[in-house]
Amino acid sequence: MHMLSDDRGHLSYDLAGDGPPVVLVHAGVADHRMWDAVVPALAERHTVIRYDLRGFGESAPPTGPFRETDDLRCLLNHLGHERVRLVGASWGGRVALDFTLTHPDRVHSLAIFAAPWPRYHWSADMIAYDEAETAALEAGDLDAAVRINLDMWLRGPARGWDDVTDGLADRLRGPLRTSLENQAIVGQHSQGPATGDLAAISVPTLVGVGKLDVADFQDIARRYAAEIPDAALVEFATAAHLIAMDAPTELSAVLGPFLAQ
């Protein structure tokens, strides 16, 4: 891993391959390693850039107010990339979308997978999940909070653990634990999602969601696909929330032609 340092700490990032640059932004329950299984295929034709958001993985927790979009802009400036193909999962999808809204001249194309919708009217199941996680964290039971999140985001509501690929929970547990340890300080200092008109997005856009994901995110994906001009919607039959981990071969097959545009 490489490091980009500033007066608020450092961001860790990884590079692979050669060609037009692609940036992969991880989910809020993971770190850059969630993309491990898709990087080899993408790196055959692209320079693949992965980084850990501030407070995730090997990147330092924030020490003051920050914007995820500013961090991404600084990383691209550091690497000398004027325009990139941008791919984001879950919270990383929202970061990618916000970056496109705030820096449209720096985005060649956009792909978002299971990205949240600001101020969405969450279902009772999502509210119950949030309450359970909050209760576990307030009780100091980080192990319980990890289990709650693994159940929600890796297993999902539509299958049992026997249907989840062996080893995925073990791969995710460490990154998830780090995200939960830093959740409060990240939430305290993050300046939140950008505001902007989705109808103003003019780059090629791909919206994806797992058919085994929480119903809220399937609804949100359809909403993004409807409101972003000419966006394409793709559903992954065997994936829950973390498509890059559940269905990396299928995701690579979709991203390859899209990123070649």
- pLDDT at position 51: 98
- Per-residue confidence at 123, pLDDT binned at 50, 70, 90? very high
When the pLDDT of each residue in the chain is averaged and rounded to a whole number, the result is: 96
- pLDDT at position 9: 75
| Cβ partners under 8 Å of residue 164, min gap 6 | 154, 155, 246
- pLDDT at position 186: 95
Cα gap 160→175, rounded to integer Å:
22
Q: Which residue has the tokens 């992969």?
A: 24
Cα gap 62→65, rounded to integer Å:
7
Q: What's the per-residue H, E or C state across the chain?
A: CEEEEECCEEEEEEEECCCCEEEEECCCCCCHHHHCCCHHHHHCCCEEEEECCCCCCCCCCCCCCECHHHHHHHHHHHHCCCCEEEEEECHHHHHHHHHHHHCHHHEEEEEEECCCCCCCCCCHHHHHHHHHHHHHHHCCCHHHHHHHHHHHHHHCCCCCHHHCCCCHHHHHHHHHHHHHHCHHHHHHHECCCCCCCHHHCCCCEEEEEECCCCHHHHHHHHHHHHHCCCCEEEEECCCCCCHHHHCHHHHHHHHHHHHCC
How far, in whole angstroms, is CA 225 from its chain's centroid? Answer: 17
| C-beta separation of 240 from 154 below 8 A | yes
Q: Each residue of 19-33: pLDDT tens digit?
A: 999 999 999 999 999
Q: Each residue of 34-84: pLDDT tens digit?
A: 999 999 999 999 999 999 999 999 999 999 999 999 999 999 999 999 999
Q: Is the pLDDT score of 4 beyond 80? A: yes
User: 122-127: long-range contacts (C-beta < 8 A, 24 or more apart)?
Assistant: 122/216, 123/214, 123/215, 123/216, 125/157, 125/214, 125/215, 125/216, 126/214, 126/216
How far, in whole angstroms, is CA 108 from its chain's centroid? Answer: 18
Q: How many CB atoms lie within 10 A of CB 163?
A: 13
| C-beta separation of 53 from 71 below 8 A | yes
Alpha-carbon distances, residue 147 vs 34, 37, 57, 177, 261 (angstroms): 18, 23, 18, 10, 40
- Per-residue confidence at 5, pLDDT binned at 50, 70, 90? confident
254 residue type, one letter = V
Q: Each residue of 169-220: pLDDT tens digit?
A: 999 999 999 999 999 999 999 987 777 899 999 999 999 999 999 999 999 9
Q: Which two tokens stand for residue 158?
A: 């539509």
Q: Is the pLDDT score of 135 beyond 90? A: yes
